[in-house]
Amino acid sequence: MHKLFNMTRLLKYTILSFLILSFGNIFSQNIIDTIPYKEFEIILLDNQTWCYVNNDSVLELIHKRDSIKHYNYILSEKTYLPDSLVLFVDEWDSIPQLYGYGGLNYALVQDTFAIPLDTNDFTLPFDGKVISEFGWRWGRMHHALDIQLQLGEPVKAAFSGKVRRAFYNTGGYGNLVIIRHKNGIETYYAHLSKLLVSEGQWVESGEAIGLGGSTGYSFAPHLHWEVRFKDNSFNPRIFVDYENGKLKSDTLILVPELFYHIKELSQTQYYTVKQGDSLWGISRRFGISISAICSLNNITENTVLKIGQTLRVR
């Protein structure tokens, strides 16, 4: 029995060693993030690759990822080996859609995330005055900092990363550059007059990626700068000291409360003003006070409503 036990252990560690050697280039990487996709789990690694894992035993371990850092640690601590391990590796920063995770989704940010930041790898996208803050504005969510600039002034990459999208967006962004960074954050640079980079290109922090402009839904030249995690926007001021041009810390802690506006957006309701409408009538219709409507839309009780105007009523 003792000999059989030793032979079983020997076989186990032989197979384990084979797996680690076979997939060492993957398992030696840090896990950046995981994304559920159909029956798979997609694991994002810090060498800018992603893996499909479709084995239940491995998935069980992946779900415990909050307490571990490396796959080789998982394997070495595991008391049994999965029957099969299927990995398909590809570039995870080449998603063609505007939003790589399918759009705003409050369910994706219900955990606390500790994201590493390199304080030596940060540059202000443009050293200008912030003219509009992140948050609710005129009844709608403004997902960015708006930074004043002149037409044609260079806009720089805030962090090093790979350009996921560089194109003209008809939904309001105008000329837009999206850069995906190794820590899982994405930065958006909108309303550019000219694109200076192409999709798939690696850029360094401080490198010019476009020229300032007013394309898309914009009334004057400015930079619309967004920071997103899993497509969900959050206020750049949480970790950027913009006025002094530096990061506040080498670690960004994201908690669910920072994304509460995403939950609010899912419950938001708008109304288009029609002929004969009044604030009193709209308030009665939707069961909301006039003062609340004014607060949500940054208007006063004396504001004259215009036909076709959109008001937030929830």
Digit-coded pLDDT (tens) for 200-221 = 999 999 999 999 999 999 999 9
What pLDDT score does 41 carry?
Answer: 61
- Name the residue ranges covered by the structural domains of the chain: 2-92, 113-258, 269-312
C-alpha dist (Å) from residue 122 to 177, 232, 241, 246: 17, 21, 11, 7
- Work out the average pLDDT over 22-30: 49
- Work out the average pLDDT over 211-238: 95
Note whether 159 and 45 are within 8 A (CB): no
What pLDDT score does 195 carry?
Answer: 98
What pLDDT score does 138 carry?
Answer: 77
Digit-coded pLDDT (tens) for 135-194 = 988 777 899 999 999 999 999 999 999 999 999 999 899 999 999 998 889 999 999 999
Q: Which of 137, 192, 188 is nearest to 165 (CA)?
A: 188
User: Any idea how long the chain is?
Assistant: 314
C-alpha dist (Å) from residue 252 to 229, 240, 241, 297: 11, 10, 13, 32
Specify burial of residue 277 (Cβ count, 10 A radius: 0-12, 13-18, 19+).
middle
Residue 4 clears pLDDT 70, i.e. is over it: no
Task: Say if pTM beats, i.e. exceeds, 0.75.
Answer: no
| CATH placement of domain 113-258 | 2.70.70.10
Fold of 269-312: Membrane-bound Lytic Murein Transglycosylase D; Chain A (3.10.350)
Digit-coded pLDDT (tens) for 44-83 = 766 666 665 544 444 444 444 333 333 332 333 333 323 3
Token code pair at residue 125: 């996208």
What amino acid occupies position 162?
K
Token code pair at residue 129: 């005055």
